[in-house]
Structures are given as C-alpha cells and as structure tokens.
Amino acid sequence: MSEDANAISAKTKGQNSPLLISLLPFVVLFGATLVLFWLSQGDMEGTYKYWEFFVPVVAVISLVSGWGQAYISGKGRLWYLVKQCIHWGLLIGLIYIFNTQGIRDTLSTQQYVAIILYLLALTALITAVQMDFKLVFFGIFLLFCAYVIMVPDNNPTLLGIGNLLNISDPQSKPLIVASALAAIGFVASLFLLIMFRGAMTSKRLANQRAA
C-alpha cells in the first residue's frame, strides 16, 4: 500500500507544471506594470495606449492562472470560462465605449490612465475573490499605481509607504517605492501560488486514491 501511495503521489506531482513556469504570469504582471508605471512618469501622453493593450494581457493571464483554482473548488470549467469572459469582457467593452462615445476626449491623459488602472485593479480584485485569489496582491499594487498617477504631488499613500519602508524622501522617488511594493506583492503571490499548488496536488492525490 505504501508503494502504491508513493507511486500515486509521484504521478500527481508530475502533473503540476514546474514552479518557474507557474511564476511566469506574475513576473509579467508585476514587471509590465512597473515598466508602464515608470514610462508614465516621463511620458504619460505616449504611454496610455500601452495601458489599454495591457488590459487584455491581464485578462488572458487571469484566465490561465485561475484554471487550477477552478479545479480545486470543484466548479465546472465551462462555467469558469463563461464567468471569466463576461468579467473581463465588460472591462474591455467599457474601455471601448470610452474611446468611441467621446468620453475619452473629456478627460486628461492623466485622468484617463488613472481610471483605466482603477478599473483594472477593481476587476482584478473581484476576480481574486471569485475565481483566483492569487491576483489579490496584484490588484492592490494596481490601486497604488493608480492613486500615485492620479495624485502625483503630496501623495499621502506614497509618503506613508515610503516611511514604512525606510525610503528617504519618497515623494521624489515614486518608482523606488513602487518597485519595493512590486517585490513585496510578487513574494506574497509566490506564497499563495505554493499553497494552491499544494492544495491541487492533495486533491489530485485524493481523486486518484478514490479511483
């Protein structure tokens, strides 16, 4: 019985993708956000289109990332796909309306980028609650970026986080503060990823023993 259990356990672990591959979506999410945040500091007008393109990228990553949690929760994969498509389709559709119904023209580029980030952050957080909790720290990081872009001067959150992390004069170093938060969010997401991989392995092991 022990040999059978070990064989099942080894087979189950082999079904999980390598940890480095599983980490790649979060490298893209936090890394791309940080790069776009940096570009926005110097050229907001020339960067806002990249934020628009980033939204469907996050949607695709969310779709792939949450697939394992759908398996753990025992919910139907088809229903999961439908929810994800509706969830992110609404956000992409809203951005399309902004650009085709004249709403974009009433906003400054700074306001428009901040609104996109706020909407993307809230969508990511709702996705985290409903379908993939691993996105929760990414959503929080997006909220920080949105607030700094909306209020670039005398930002109380930037000052508070900078002081908490012992960063001198954080108001003049938004990129350094953002980089520190991105690193913290990435590490926290890594712990969640390891937890979910363990839960997935346990469920697969239980299913194979019951078979």
CA distances from 176 to 34, 144, 170 (A): 10, 13, 8
* Sign of the dihedral defined by the CA atoms of residues 156, 158, 161, 167, in that order: negative
44-87 pLDDT, tens per residue? 898 999 999 999 999 999 988 877 776 666 667 788 888 899 99
Judged against a pLDDT cut of 70, whether residue 99 lies above it is answered with: yes
Q: Which residue in the block uniquely carries the two structure tokens 């398996």? A: 71
The pTM score is 0.86
What is the C-alpha separation between 58 and 85, in angstroms, rounded? 12
Query: What are the extents of the domains in the chain?
Result: 2-210
Judged against a pLDDT cut of 50, whether residue 8 lies above it is answered with: no
16-54 pLDDT, tens per residue? 567 788 889 999 999 999 999 999 998 889 899 999 999
Rg of the Cα atoms in the chain: 20
Q: What pLDDT does 130 receive?
A: 85
Please tell me what DSSP assigns to residue 39: H
What is the C-alpha separation between 47 and 36, in angstroms, rounded? 7
Confidence of residue 14 (pLDDT cuts 50, 70, 90): very low
What is the C-alpha separation between 132 and 21, in angstroms, rounded? 17
CA distances from 198 to 72, 86, 90, 95, 145 (A): 10, 29, 33, 37, 31
131-171 pLDDT, tens per residue? 888 899 999 999 999 999 999 888 999 999 999 999 999 99
Least Cα distance to 107 among 121, 122, 97, 93 occurs for: 97
Enumerate residues 6+ apart whose C-beta is below 8 A from 65.
Answer: 25, 132, 134, 135
Q: What pLDDT does 5 receive?
A: 40
